[in-house]
Amino acid sequence: MASSSKIFFEEVRAAYAGTAGSLRLAGPVETENVLPVSTYTGGGVEYSVELDVREGYVDCVVGTETETVDFTVNVEQLALTAGVIEVRGKISYSARNLTQLRKSLSGQAGYVRLVHPLLAGKATEALMRRAGARAWKKPARP
């Protein structure tokens, strides 16, 4: 994609506008440290939409933290574990062209709409653990 970051950010904003508005998510915060990432936050949960330009791949990673642990998991795995979808593979991750990117973003935003209402308080940590989220222990505070 020509000027892929710019196009990516525009497409994420378009695909997530309704989701962010209805769920009252703040964002997007757009960064390009290593990969282009567009992040939305709300209710103690962060949704990072990441584009891997070399692989032609886009993913939505859900993150949350407790006092001692940071969790991250793919939105599809979280939706499957939460029981809001029945089978894996109903959304796309391909971003090799604009049509594929739009389809992938739309499907992933749909899963955000399904899982976000289930992510509140202590239930979030339990769901993240059941989903097999990556967990990073935070350093002990002195």
Q: Is the peptide bond prior to 28 cis by the omega test (within 30 degrees of 0)?
A: yes
User: What global pTM score does this model have?
Assistant: 0.91
Residue 33: how many other CB atoms lie within 10 Å: 6
The domains of the chain are located at 4-137
pLDDT in tens, the chain (142 residues): 335 788 999 999 999 999 999 999 999 999 998 899 999 999 999 999 999 988 999 999 999 988 889 999 999 999 999 999 988 888 999 999 999 999 999 999 999 999 999 987 778 889 999 999 999 988 876 6
The secondary structure element, H or E, covering residue 30 is strand 26-31
